[in-house]
Amino acid sequence: MRFLKMDLRAATVAAALTVSLGLAAAPAEAKVEGDTIILGSAISLTGKYSTNGIHAQNGYELGVKMINDNGGVKVGGKSYKLKVVYYDDESTPARGAQLAERLINQDGVKYMLGPYSSGLTKAIAPVTEKYKIPMVEAEGASRSLFTQGYRYLFAVLSTSEQYLASSIELAAEIAKKNGKKPSDVKVAMAFENDPFSLDVRAGVVDDAKRFGMKIVIDDKLPRDLSDMTSTLTKVKALKPDLLVISGHSKGAATAARQIAELKISTPMIAMTHCEAAKVISKFGAGATEGILCPTQWAETLSYKDDLFGTAAEYDALFKKSFEGYKNVPYQAAQATAAVMVWKDAFERANSFDSEALRDAIADTDMDTFYGGIKFSPAGNNIAKPMVLRQIQDGNLNVVAPLKWASSEARHPRQPKY
Amino acid sequence: MFDNISILFQAPIFAVDLLVQGLLIGGIFVLAAYGLALVWGVMNVKNLAQGDMVILGGYVAYQCTLWGIHPILALPIAFVVLFVLGWGVYAAIIRRVVDRDMFTSLLATFGLSLLIQQALNLRFGPEVKIAEAGFGTFDIGELSIPAIRFVGLGLAAVLAICIVLFMRNSRMGQAIRATSQDPRAARVLGINTDQVYAFTYALNAAICGAAGVLVAMIWNIQPFYGLVHSIRAFIIVTAAGLGNLPGVIVAGFGLGVWENYSGFIFGAEFAVAAVVGLLVVVLMVRLFQMYRLRQVVR
Amino acid at position A194, single letter: D
Tens of pLDDT, residues B171-212: 999 999 999 999 999 999 999 999 999 999 999 999 999 999
Find the range with the poorest average confidence among A376-390, B198-212, B244-258, B284-298.
B284-298
Instruction: Report how many Cβ contacts below 8 Å link chain A to chain B.
Output: 108
Domains by residue range for chain B, with CATH? 2-297 (1.10.3470)
The residue range of the domain holding A212 is 162-295+387-404
**Chain A residues inside the 8 Å CB shell of B260:** 229-230, 233
Q: Which residue has the higher pLDDT, A352 or A26?
A: A352
- pLDDT for A27: 41
Is it the case that residue A112 has pLDDT exceeding 80?
A: yes
- In sequence order, the β-bridge partners of residue A86 are A41
CB contact under 8 A, A254 and B220: yes
Contacts of residue B151, defined as CB under 8 A and 6 or more positions apart, other chains included, come to B72, B133, B135, B217
Is residue A79 one of the residues assigned to a domain? yes
Is it the case that residue A146 has pLDDT exceeding 60?
A: yes
Q: How confident is the model at residue A36 (pLDDT cuts 50, 70, 90)?
A: very high
CA dihedral sign, ordered A362, A367, A368, A369: positive
Is it the case that residue A26 has pLDDT exceeding 70?
A: no
- pLDDT for B296: 67
- Do A175 and A266 reside in the same domain of the chain? yes
Is it the case that residue A380 has pLDDT exceeding 50?
A: yes
Find the range with the poorest average confidence among A77-86, A151-160, A270-279, B86-95.
A270-279
Residue range A57-77: mean pLDDT, rounded: 96
Is residue A287 one of the residues assigned to a domain? yes
- Do A205 and A284 reside in the same domain of the chain? yes
Residue range A270-294: mean pLDDT, rounded: 91
- Do A170 and A260 reside in the same domain of the chain? yes
The gap between the terminal CA atoms of chain B, to the nearest Å, is 46
Is residue A1 one of the residues assigned to a domain? no
Residue range A377-384: mean pLDDT, rounded: 94
- pLDDT for B211: 96
Tens of pLDDT, residues A162-201: 999 889 999 999 999 999 999 999 999 999 988 889 999 9
Contacts of residue B131, defined as CB under 8 A and 6 or more positions apart, other chains included, come to B58, B61, B62, B64, B65, B71, B74, B213, B216, B217
Distance from CA of B145 to the nearest CA of A (A): 6
Percentage of the residues of chain A whose pLDDT score is greater than 90: 74
- Do A328 and A245 reside in the same domain of the chain? no
Tens of pLDDT, residues B102-112: 889 999 999 99
- Please give the Cα distance from B107 to A378 (Å, whole number): 46
- Please give the Cα distance from A136 to A156 (Å, whole number): 7
CB contact under 8 A, B259 and A47: no
Percentage of the residues of chain B whose pLDDT score is greater than 90: 68
- pLDDT for A405: 85
Residue range A337-347: mean pLDDT, rounded: 97
Distance from CA of B140 to the nearest CA of A (A): 12
Look at chain A and report how many structural domains it folds into: 2
CATH value at residue A225: 3.40.50.2300
- pLDDT for A10: 52
Residue range B47-56: mean pLDDT, rounded: 96
- Do A334 and A394 reside in the same domain of the chain? no
The per-residue pLDDT of chain A, averaged, comes to 89
CB contact under 8 A, A262 and B146: yes
Is it the case that residue A6 has pLDDT exceeding 50?
A: no
- Do A288 and A309 reside in the same domain of the chain? no
Is residue A244 one of the residues assigned to a domain? yes
Is residue A264 one of the residues assigned to a domain? yes
Q: Which residue has the higher pLDDT, A82 or A33?
A: A82
- Do A189 and A42 reside in the same domain of the chain? no
Distance from CA of B269 to the nearest CA of A (A): 5
Distance from CA of A230 to the nearest CA of B (A): 5
| Chain B contact for A218 (CB, 8 A cutoff) | yes
Q: How confident is the model at residue A150 (pLDDT cuts 50, 70, 90)?
A: very high
Q: Which residue has the higher pLDDT, A32 or A17?
A: A32
**Chain A residues inside the 8 Å CB shell of B130:** 253, 257, 282
| Chain B contact for A324 (CB, 8 A cutoff) | no
- Do A290 and A355 reside in the same domain of the chain? no
CB proximity under 8 Å: A 137-176 to B: none
| Chain B contact for A274 (CB, 8 A cutoff) | no
- pLDDT for A20: 47
| Chain B contact for A257 (CB, 8 A cutoff) | yes
Measured in residues, chain A has a length of 417
- Do A261 and A399 reside in the same domain of the chain? yes
- Do A168 and A143 reside in the same domain of the chain? no
**Which residue of A233, A246, A283 is the best one to mutate when testing the B interface, meaning the one whose CB has the most B CBs within 10 A?**
A233
Tens of pLDDT, residues B2-22: 788 888 888 888 899 999 999
